[in-house]
Chain A
Amino acid sequence: MEKDSLKGKIDLLLIAGSAGSLDVLLKVLPAIKYNLSFPIIIVLHRKASYDSSLINLFNSKATLPVVEAEEKDSLQNGKIYVAPSDYHLLVETDHSVSLDYSEKIQYSRPCIDVTFETAAEVYKTRIAAILLSGANSDGAAGLKSIKNHGGITAVQNPQYAEVSYMPQKAIQIAPIDYILNIEEIANFINKLSL
């Protein structure tokens, strides 16, 4: 990728994954620059009971403040929002988030596709999404939707992902702009910032 070509391109970054993506995030979050010019939303499939410890764990590693998204939160630049377990997280036109306790989709709540699709409709070309390791096809349709609206799509290189199914599935159905190794992800995020 050309140097600085990504600079200032987006107003929101989405990162999502399932099995095997927690370790990736713990490597990526400490390397993100502290004055990032956009917010990040993380959607992670997981068991319901570990929520507060997950936020604490992220906060102990991340350069940016990490919070569990609360309903009607307005997204602020340089802040990381984690979708709470057992709720879908949707992005509203006023750049706030809302939560939804409707049926599981793709056996998942939060469902990655729901967040990606609602965010794509609002942010159109001004968004990027990265899909990490996982054993489920959630996120692939969402990445397609991001691309349809002119956003930037990226996946973790399935070859090195702990579970390759999720990024592999995304590559099959959606145009992917960047296939990244773990050590390239933080750099990619930082380049998107102003």
Chain B
Amino acid sequence: MEGFFALEAYALLKVLWWVLLGVLLTGIGVMVGMDMGVGTILRYVGRTDVERRVAINVIGPHWDGNQVWFILGGGAIFAAWPLVYATAFSGFYIVMLVLLWSMIVRPLGFEYRSKMPSERWRNVWDATLFISGCIPMVVFGAAVGNVILGVPFNFDWRLTSYYTGSFISLFNPFAVLCGVMSLSLAIYMGGTRLAAAASAPVSDRARTAAVVFALVAVVVFSGCGFWVATMDGFKLVSGPAAAAAQTPLHQQVVREAGALLANYAKYPALWTFPALTYAGLILGVLSLAANRPALAWWLGALAWIGVMGTVGAAMFPFMMPSITNPSHSLTVWNSGSSLRTLGWMTGWTLVFMPLIVWYTSWAFWVMRGKVDVKDVAASEHAL
């Protein structure tokens, strides 16, 4: 009986960590996406150097902490889903490098840009902030898009993974559309944040950008939805029990038309997730029109939850299906860490996640209020 209980607990922990992965990816979208959205529209919202510095200083005290969502996301996939981490990061090699290289110029963009007065110097770093804003968000979305489509990889007997696709095939139209989706949401989040925390005229332009990209997101989300409905999904035919310790070498998976909507047909309550996305974005636009940008930001976070939930509900139990050998697909059941590791990780997360939320909120509270053009102009030589 005790053994039975432990095994069932293992299946439960796998699902819990699948949910937590969703939470972390949503955290990346909301917190890192916001800063990257600001980077992307920096030259649009800021026509003069002082205006750009206003925008940068709105996120200045927080970008570093926010970026840790991304780092933690990587670390958590490594710890809880080692096979997914290994297969995805190596398979998407060139794309991952482009993502990495665009991300590593970002700390320098923030930290170094305003250290020298030269206009040319600052233009260069503005370019890095733009690149490190839009490219990671496009790659983030495109990676999810490719995972929905299925990825060309297989394993040998030892579980060494082999990626057999080309680099360019990762930029197929569906994946790019997903990339546009996540970039649009990022610009929306960055736009609402600037609308709330920057002074005019930066806040006015930011509001316009947020409205435009919320509408783009609505259209792209609908487009992706119709596309997915016509797509071949994956179906787990047979395999070891959910709670068993296993590898992806002993299951049967087939491709099947409409499989991506199977969970929705079975549990109609899942339609809540796409509904949340629409509700968040449409109410967000209305809030911006009513000049309530802070509320619009929170509605954007809701939209992110909706998008991640929509994808997760369509994919479950698949985490990274293989199109070349569907029976090697990675699922929630076969790619997680051991019971003990997932248990320990749950403990650490329960202790530290609330702490993180608490001190992050405190940091935002300390820095509350608007960043003003006059103040920024006056502190040219600060730090």
Q: Do A and B come from one complex?
A: no
